[in-house]
Structure 1
Amino acid sequence: MKKTIWIKGAYGPHNLGDDLLYSLIYKNIKNRLDDSYNIVVGVDDKKKARNINGDIEYKSSSQRIKSDFLILGGGGQFYSFNDSEYKFSNKLKYYLTSLFGGKIHHLIYRKLNGDNVIKKAAFCVGVGPFHNPSYEINAVKKIAGFDYFSVRDMNSYNLLESNNIEVSKFTDPVFVLEPIKAKSSGDKIGIILRDWNKDEYGKNVIEKLKDLARELKNKNYNVEILLLSNNDTEIIDSRLKGIPVWTWNADEDPEITVKKWNEKYNTIISSRAHGVLLGALAGCNVIVAPLERKLKNFHLFFPKSTHYIKAEDFKEKNVFNIEYYINSSFDFDKRSEEIIYNRSIAVKAFDSLCDWIKNNHD
């Protein structure tokens, strides 16, 4: 009898980074296992997800999970920036959205019966930060109940190790994506913005990036705003008038993004973690904005070939300082070495996970 593997995450589809994660995780697990496994992916919109990969069997992310293996696939899975997500008003909004989206029956059934999962794994996830120690304690308790756990960065590893959780450290799964083996040939500056309401510091970083986009446009740079989620469109305001906006609409294979960026952009300035990774794989000059901790973690995948603007410096940076990074070159050979290194670790991560699955195929 076939064993079912359910891949779970913040999968819309609507966010380029998350859409890449589930597409690549599905593909690389499937390629390592035989036909005795049935692999499914939980998403919010099954119809839209088929535009990304029509070969995957999709399940509604709100329905009761019944599987032999549940895999939390990549991304930030355990963290907290504030208390807002736990407020009654936000929970009510979630259930009302589910009601009008035709998913409330799934949620009620799931609430009454619970999930039916035999083995739980987390694969190359991010853990933290936590704004309140109690949230970290609760997360650690949940994590202790997993049968297999791997993380993508050292901060996550150190946090769990300090709490006596057995964990493996690898890298981000998207590193299995084939990189472009040449510097980008584009001439545009792509500035990746996102809607951020988790803290005032992050809001200020996004506002600074908007000001930067306008100033660079006024200096005749070829600027384009990149929104890696169609949930970010509300941040476009009058300051960005006249600047082209590219939005990820989850209507094609996300893997072709790397080739498109290589042809279109010279520089990527990113406030999203996977924007850093994709820009690097595309052979672009990458500038990392200090929006949140995981941006620094993703810069550390490419410490010798990406530019990280420190949080304390970002408050003082003006367009002239940023121009230095825009106009400075990066060592493509160093970039290639960093990609090859992380790619080899990503392959080992998938091997480790699939070996664990095979060893637990009772």
Structure 2
Amino acid sequence: MKNSDLLAKFNWWPSFSVGDRSAYRFATVTHYIYLFSFFAHAGFTIVFLLLEAPILAAYNVVSCVVFILAAILNQRGRYRLAFHLAALEVLLHSSLCAFLIGWETGFHYFIPGIIPFAAILPQTSRLRKTLLISLLIAGYGVVYFASDAVASFYQLAPQMVTALNYMNLVLTFGAFSFLVNYLARASTRAEERVTEASRTDYLTGVLNRRGMSESLDAARSIARRSGQPLTVIIGDLDDFKMINDNYGHNCGDHVLVAVTERLQSSIREEDLVARWGGEEFLILLPATNTAGAQKVGWKLLASIREQPFICGLHSLRMTITLGLASGTGHETAEDLIGRADRALYYGKQSGKNRLISEAPDYNAQTPK
């Protein structure tokens, strides 16, 4: 295969057909390592031509082809085969350089440089990883003792030997640094995803109870400092159990998702919706007094009852009951939500499909 054909098949930016997350991370980081190695060997080709070392120059051309092949295999999901091919190239290249221009040039640094990658090779048993690492270490030892026993084929000036040594040291630690940085960032992103998942309702994608509790605490702090009111509205879908009983839980889930979308479309960008539990929702309205929240509440009621919900062949009419409570941030979140919850209960007992702004004497108006 010609180099031009290889380059035509090579995507310079990572795009992989691997599904496992650890495999994707490995394929991503090695993609850049292969790309980096391709340019490094292209540079070495020029260096060895200038040093009149045609054998090494020719081998580095082969190395460029190898890393293009590794990158293509990587992108096609053959990341393990790609890595083994790259590891073999590193071992052979380091050995050849050690024999031809001497151990002191530092090309042997690349052998231990690939060991961390072997240690994290995805979907590979511990035994195989241990075997691969052992082979690399053994190869490193063989190259060390064998190269020490023979004279260098090409005799380089001491200054050039030192320059190559430092250059290879920088390249090796550069690859190490890239790996560590990438894995650290991947770990941070994974922690962020776990945190976000713990605050998000799996079905609707809005905040769950924990996420809303955290947001409500933050809103209360702002309200206390600014002196502006805040309002919470608790909504509970009326007779939702009948949807699950008559049409199945899949239909019920579909309705919950659609209800969430309608609620979100009826509030401002700074307002928040959470699935509080089951068919119950909590809406947080920062910097909103009771009068303003009532207007929002009427919009919420209309968004649910005015248009039917389509579930398969069924057209379902739904309503929601809302309980509203406003505060200044000085009371606890539990007290504020408790007042809204009592208003919601009063609304349910009063006939449903309505907005109640804090039943003034809840105990007196609760039906026996």
User: If the length of structure 2 is used for normalisation, what is the TM-score?
Assistant: 0.23
Higher RCO (CA-CA < 8 Å; seq separation 6+): 1
Q: Judging by fraction of residues, say which structure has more helix.
A: 2
Q: Judging by fraction of residues, say which structure has more strand.
A: 1
User: If the length of structure 1 is used for normalisation, what is the TM-score?
Assistant: 0.23
